[in-house]
Amino acid sequence: MNQKHIVTIPEYGITIAAGSLAKLANGAVTVTTGETIVFVAATAATTMRPGQDFFPLTVDYRENYSAAGRFPGGYFKRERRPSEKEILTSRLCDRPCRPLFPEGFLNEVQIIGLLLSADQIHEADISMLNGASAALSISDIPWNGPIAAARIGQVDGQFVVNPTIDQMFASTLDLIYVGTEQDMLMIEGSADQIPEERFIEALAFAHQAIQPIIRAIKELTALVGKKKSHFDLVTAKPASRAIIERVAAAKIADAIYGKEKAVRSANIKALKEEAKAALVAELGVGNFADHEVGVVFEELQYVEYRKTVLERGVRADGRNAASLRPIVCETGVLPRVHGSAVFERGDTQALVIVTLGPTKEAQDMDGLTGGATSKSFMLHYNMPPFTVGETGRFIGPGRREIGHGALAERSLVPILPPEDAFPYSIRVVAELMASNGSTSMASICGGCLALMDAGVPIIAPVAGISCGLMTTNAADGSIERSVVITDILGEEDHFGDMDFKLAGTTKGITGFQLDLKIKGLPFEIAKTAVFQAREARIEILKKMLAAIPAPRANLSKYAPRIQTIQIDPEKIGLLIGPGGKTIRRITETTGAQIDIGDDDSGKVFIYSNNSEAMNRAIEEIDALCGGGSQIEVDKLYHGRVTGIKEFGAFVECMPGKEGLVHISELADFRVRRTEDVVKMGDMIWVKCVGVDERTGKVRLSRRAALKEMEEKKPEGQAQAQPEPAAQA
């Protein structure tokens, strides 16, 4: 593609181009890394929707299958609903871009990213972030950028900027860092219990790493950037503001301080109604806009929630800056599940459930840019409307649920046992019961408790907590004073400046996510938050370990047991059989689940809740793939009827090994029809009474087997039924 204007970032092999695609968008660029190409366009509506009272920013990232030279699966052969990865990349881009739009700018803005080419070497999410920054910067949309993003890995103890997909498999850190020229703006990722000191070093390294990208975007803006357009900012008219402030300003403090969440919400709602009534009485219906009440109340609460924190160190619920809310931990709360726990911190409550399953239950991942093709650990987060005391649509997970679940999932992954030591697929479901701040961190704590309750031998317990920030600004806009607060309420998140989520063990950090509402976070404040979160995390871990000190020694009786056996790798095909026939037959006849290891080492995993089914499956696999794999004369076998003939029945005694029970050998009485004694799929006892040396054909006898079993029975014991009815 011939681009009009191209800037290069030689340090990272990145080029950003603009000028020849999507010329009707406000701004559009392509970002190329290797042969991975991402196109990003930014467009703004020219007018605001009537009655609009929020900023409608939409970010959508899509991966076209054509980018990897593939057809989409399914009947329609076109891309369908966005994948989890596409949603997470969209959120990754939305969060750092949003705070840099002017306050009161409510025109709709849409940022669309398309993966055009995927080289299976370089990830596309960082290109999407940098492309959004470049597209907004060169556009006429008001925005206080540019920003830049980089992924930082740690391979062999060394930090690596924008590592390849293969390098990330060996990395103990996955840090996505977004910042301005001066400060950090957003971080997200996971680590293998990285110490706080090393984490701070990674942040400083990342901030220097993004500077060449910011310089390149500024260079491109100088070449093709448009003059920023003027848009009317939404605010309250002076007359309306004066009335609302006179009615409500002095009452806000009493409405929120020392009250529970429901009471705070009810008090603010009553004050809004009082202010609206005053507007009607003094200005008349139609002489003020409904959004004006909301705008002014947002400002009044913004001031009040900060005021006492900054002046007296006291928060709305009476805590000081570093205090945690009361914590309650329970495990084993549901009887039939494999593991369960309730974690409650203040008004936030999560019920978390763990399910263990065979490795075949792993989730397939259909990413186009390479990386893992499946995952055997998944965490699903659900937050119905009742969690905040509201009604609403109760449908599948939205972007928020997927994002929070992903954060909790990657925070727990580093402490899971290796798959060769615990070869189970693990599903964790976080059912939120109540929400008032940091539900994702409650999901991590509850998830860890539920894993321990399920008997998963985790490496170390994990807890998570969120820190917030209250600041005042100097005349030049810089932060003049700041207080970092621990375990933030929902209102402190909304009216505060920061939501910094950190999860980890006593040894170090495993997951993190920083979102800001201000235009940058100085490093010293970030450092304070990191170590303040560590202190809180240690306190939470003490509460958790008081509820369950270690993973349970045994799995739930309802969880599948596992037995691992080793077979000759060359006999894997024999075990599977043509079209999977043999392994399917063993599964059906024994009731055990059988999975074969993916590494061609010959490992076979057998799952069952029933010890008899487990032993039978092991016997059949051993008979088929072990040393002795032939039917032996004078031995008893419990086999399945696989064929009915006029002259008798064929019975499979061992996997793939069968013999004939002649009609005269079916019973100790005259049998007129084979079906009078056995039917297809019946499990019956037989004895091998001969093997033809020339043809290898096996002769079996049900009559001889029943006689031998009767003779071995202790004297006086009632006759048992040696062949329980079992139809296929």
Residue 139 has pLDDT above 70, yes or no: yes
| For the chain, percent of residues with pLDDT exceeding 70 | 95
pTM (global) more than 0.85: no
Are 463 and 541 in contact by the 8 Å Cβ rule? The answer is yes
Is 168 inside a domain boundary? yes
- When pLDDT is averaged across residues 583-598 and rounded to a whole number, the result is 86
What distance in Å separates the CA atoms of residue 648 and residue 652, rounded to the nearest whole number? 13
622 domain-assigned: no
Helix (H) or strand (E) holding 641: strand 636-645
E strands along 83-171, which residues? Answer: 109-117, 148-155, 158-161
Q: How far apart are CA 58 and CA 538, in angstroms?
A: 38
**Nearest 5°: phi and psi at 455?**
85, 15
Q: Is 107 helix (H, G, I), strand (E, B) or coil?
A: coil
Give DSSP secondary structure letters for 553-577.
SS--TTSPEEEEEE--GGGHHHHH-
Which residue, 624, 608, 629, 610, is CA-closest to 696?
629
282 plus 352 within the same structural domain? no
Task: Confirm whether 174 is domain-assigned.
Answer: yes
For residue 667, is it within any domain? yes
User: What does the block give as tokens for 540?
Assistant: 């939470």
CATH (domain of 299): 1.10.10.400
Decide if 441 contacts 503 (C-beta within 8 A): yes
Domain closes at, from 281, 312, 343: 312
Least-confidence region, from 189-193, 395-399, 499-503, 566-570: 566-570
Q: Where are the beta strands (DSSP E) in 310-347?
A: 327-331, 339-345
- Check whether residue 201 and residue 70 sit in a common domain: yes
Same domain, 344 and 482: yes
Angstrom distance (rounded) from CA 651 to CA 628? 19
Identify whether residues 474 and 346 lie together within a single domain: yes
For residue 410, what is the enclosing H or E element?
A: helix 399-412
Structural domains in the chain (count): 5
Rounded Cα–Cα distance for residues 292 and 273 (Å): 13
- Burial label for 408, CB within 10 Å (0-12, 13-18, 19+), is buried
Same domain, 308 and 344: no
Last residue in a domain, options 547, 569, 598: 547
Q: What is the pLDDT of residues 674-709, one digit of tens each?
A: 999 999 989 899 999 998 877 778 999 999 999 988
The stretch 16-38 carries a mean pLDDT of 95
Question: 447-461, 580-594, 664-678: which has the minimum mean pLDDT?
Answer: 580-594
pLDDT for 2 beyond 60: no
Integer Cα distance of 154 and 163 in angstroms: 9
Quick one: tokens of 105?
A: 């700018």
Question: Is 111 among the domain residues?
Answer: yes
The whole-number pLDDT of residue 71 equals 85
Q: Specify whether 522 is located in the same domain as 610.
A: no
Q: Is residue 679 included in any domain, yes or no?
A: yes
CATH number reported for the structural domain that contains residue 605 in this entry: 3.30.1370.10
Single-letter amino acid, residue 390:
E
- The CATH number covering residue 73 comes to 3.30.230.70
Judge if 297 and 165 occupy the same domain: no
Same domain, 484 and 568: no
* Residue 724, pLDDT score: 46
Query: What CA–CA distance (Å, rounded) separates 560 from 236?
Result: 62
Distance CA 96, CA 145 (A): 10
Q: Amino acid identity of 296?
A: V
**Helical axes 261-283 vs 290-312, angle rounded to 10°:** 130
- 397 and 260, same structural domain? no
CATH code of 679's domain: 2.40.50.140
Do 25 and 168 lie in one domain? The reply is: yes
Q: Which residue range is the domain that position 437 belongs to?
A: 327-547
- Residue 569 contacts by C-beta under 8 Å, 6 or more apart in sequence? 600, 601, 602
Same domain, yes or no, for 177 and 271? Answer: no
Question: Domain check: are 581 and 704 in the same one?
Answer: no
Name the helix (H) or strand (E) containing 286: none
- How distant, in Å, are the alpha carbons of 188, 227, 444, 454 from that of 550? 29, 61, 16, 11
- Single out the residue in 518, 547, 576 at which a domain terminates: 547
Chain segment 591-632, per-residue pLDDT in tens: 888 888 777 778 888 898 887 888 888 888 887 786 555 788
Measure the CA–CA gap between 547 and 553, rounded to whole angstroms: 15
Residue 370 banded pLDDT, cuts 50, 70, 90: low
Which pLDDT belongs to residue 648? Answer: 94
- CA-based R_g, the chain, Å: 33
The answer to whether position 517 is within a domain reads yes
Q: Cite the DSSP H helix spans in 496-522.
A: none
Helix or strand (DSSP H, E) at 18: strand 14-18
The reply to whether 230 falls in a domain is no
